[in-house]
Amino acid sequence: MEENLNMLEMTQENGQTLGKIEIAPEVIEVIAGIAASEVEGVAQMRGSFATGVVERLGKKNHGKGIRVELTDEGIKVDVYCLMNFGVSIPTVAQEVQDNIRQTLYNMTALEAEEVNVHIVGVAFETQKQESNEFEE
């Protein structure tokens, strides 16, 4: 019998099977997306044209910039993000990997075989020019 990577089997202490819990890949995408965006230094996640249109209509897409692949070896997560200018990219990328692995395990008891971080850009902070108002 082939083991489903996103399925957990629940059993009682006496060994009696209670049933199975199947987690959709979309749920893994959302968990990974939120975990990645929580890391300080990540400016934003990269999405497609369709996710941009959906967000303009008011719906937040938490799985944006995440691709989950269920393979024979395990769960592979690809993260596409932009980093803030001035951060150490290897350090922040490692924190993204660690946070995704830990959050995924804490919420689903599933372990990711790979968490690949793809840096697709650097976001520069725009300096806000303060308006000087003089009172007369």
Assign residue 99 the CATH number of its domain.
Answer: 3.30.70.1350
The answer to whether position 45 is within a domain reads yes
Q: Which pLDDT does position 18 carry in this prediction? A: 80
Q: Which pLDDT does position 50 carry in this prediction? A: 42
The answer to whether position 134 is within a domain reads no
The residue segments making up the domain with residue 97 are 21-123
The answer to whether position 16 is within a domain reads no
The answer to whether position 55 is within a domain reads yes
Q: Which pLDDT does position 1 carry in this prediction? A: 33
Average pLDDT, consecutive stretches of 10 residues, N- to C-terminus, the chain (136 residues): 63 79 90 94 73 48 81 91 94 97 94 94 66 44
Q: Which pLDDT does position 16 carry in this prediction? A: 80
105-119: burial string, b at 16+ Cβ within 10 Å, e else: eeebebebeebebeb
pLDDT tens track for 65-102? 899 998 888 899 999 999 999 999 999 999 999 999 99
The answer to whether position 9 is within a domain reads no
Q: Which pLDDT does position 58 carry in this prediction? A: 54
Q: Which pLDDT does position 4 carry in this prediction? A: 62
